[in-house]
Structure 1
Amino acid sequence: MLKRNIIMGILLGSVAPIGFTALQVSANTVGYQSQATVEFVGSTVVTPPVNPTDPTDPLKPVRPVNPGTQGPLSIDYVSNIQFSQQQISGKDSVYYAQLDQLVDKNGKVGDYPNFVQVTDNRGSNAGWKMTVAQAKPFMNGKNQLDGTVIALMNGTMSGTNAHQPTPANQAEIKPDGQAVSVMTAKADSGVGTWSERFGKDNASAKKSISLFVPAESKKVAGSYKSELTWTLTDTNL
């Protein structure tokens, strides 16, 4: 480097005599390598629910719900399904779920399609699958509803990139503990936060989750409850 500086000084600071031809000296080319580093760690943040039709719009539940799960592959939110109050009937009957109610960022309560929200921040892009099961029938004390079927229909995805998961065409849930598919993300899809809403908009959502109760099912006046178990699995397992 010192030699290079000296040569530059001669060329720039000296005057060549008349008739003298200056030598053309090429600058040396040198190289140097530095390092750039980044470190990734698994996420432990619970992702809050967002508008199932607009992933940029955060929402808060009105009805009590269980908190989302932690970790890089998480179930963030699942709507509680409310079939409301129905009259006792001796016929086969189909009832439809009420819309979910959530609070937007301005504090306004609104109706939204029932939905389930998943986040994949693992970084492996390995894909995942979600199932749901009903282990026990609807119960009212010791009384139970036999032969019921819950149908999840018109699954519509919204998320943070173009490589979306695939919703099931229709998931029929029976109280036998059998897991049924809700949505599946192949490798390199389903990355980030995704919502599957049941119904494209509020109008279709009003007829997108149904409960079938057969005529012969014994019905005693009162409130019946059951639990649905939602399972999110790494497809590498």
Structure 2
Amino acid sequence: MKKSSLIITTIASAAFILGGMEAKAAVSSTHTSENKINFTAGEDVVTPPVDPTNPDNPNVPNPVDPTDPTNPGTGQTGPLSIDYVSNIKFGEHKITGKDIAYKGKNANPFVQVTDLRGAGDGWNLSAKMTEFKSGNKVLRGATLAIKDGVVKAGSSSNISLAPTKSDILFDNTESKLVMNAVNKGGRGTWLTVWPGVNQANEAIQLHVMAGTPEANTEYTSSITWELEDAPK
């Protein structure tokens, strides 16, 4: 019992002495240094497309959309740019006597926008589609529905407020809102991805009315994407 008591007392005393020694230390001198960094808007910066399935992936697949292999991106320069838009493929189909909704072939079509202005003024992306045509032949009544998009940041560490996305129904030539970044939001790179099954994407559907298609005819439509420097 005495031995144990002695050990405990010795440790406690040592701790007291060390504590006392630390308490006697004093600051003899101070000085303040300064660190600076300056930023300007990303003028003339080209932001390449990122991997739509994993935007943080440093090894971006080439092509980024296998169903759209000849599409490298828009090449637009900043500070506010549309970087990439997938071209939607629907393939070849036999004519039927029914109204049919044809699913997109692209598994992960996407649109990518980058805001390098550094002001946080917000922005909006809209789109309008022409009729499906082949020369003077028109695929009358055809509509394109794009829904269930997923908004992703080009970097998972982006702390800016994410833009919102909208489901789209192209049923005429009017402009439709696709993405909207409010004031102080949407800084950096942002994507809306429409994920689905390869060769049969439920999120992208072209509705064709019975009695309208003509055989041996490829119909084409174009979508014009418009990026404005303010929110809707």
Which amino acid in 2 is paired with 1:172?
L
Superposed displacement of residue 208, structure 1 = 0.5
- Tell me how far apart the structure 2 counterparts of residues 39 and 127 of structure 1 sit (CA, whole Å): 19
Of 123-132 and 212-221, deviating more is: 212-221
TM-score normalised by length of structure 2: 0.74
How far apart, in 2, do the equivalents of 1:148 and 1:217 lie? 9
Find the partner of 1:86 among 87, 93, 103: 93
Q: Which moved more, 1:115-124 or 1:210-219?
A: 210-219
Deviates more, 1:66-75 or 1:115-124: 66-75
Q: Is the 8 A contact 2:74 2:82 kept in 1?
A: no
Equivalent position of 2:163 in the other structure: 165
CA-CA distance at 1:142 after TM superposition: 2.0
Show the 5 A alignment for 1:97-176: 97-99=104-106, 112-134=107-129, 136-159=130-153, 160=155, 161-162=158-159, 163-168=161-166, 170-174=167-171, 176=172
Give the structure with the larger strand fraction. 1
Cα deviation, residue 202, structure 1: 4.1
Tell me which amino acid in the other structure corresponds to 2:98: K
Which structure 2 segments of 5+ residues have no match? 1-28
Q: 1:227 to 1:204 in 2, by over 3 A?
A: closer
Aligned mates of 1:232, 1:165 — CA distance in 2 = 13
Matched residue pairs, number?
193
Q: What are the equivalent positions in structure 2 for 1:45-84 lying under 5 Å apart?
A: 45-57=45-57, 58-61=60-63, 62=66, 63-65=69-71, 67-84=74-91
CA distance in 1, matches of 2:62, 2:184: 30
Q: Is contact 1:49–1:59 with CA below 8 Å preserved after alignment?
A: no
Distance 1:93 1:48, change over 3 A: same
Alpha-carbon deviation of 1:156? 0.3
Structure 2 Cα separation of the partners of residues 205 and 157 of structure 1: 21
Runs of 4+ with deviation above 6 angstroms: 31-35
Counterpart in the other structure of 1:10: none
Cα-Cα RMSD: 2.7
> Which residue type is aligned with residue 113 of structure 1?
N
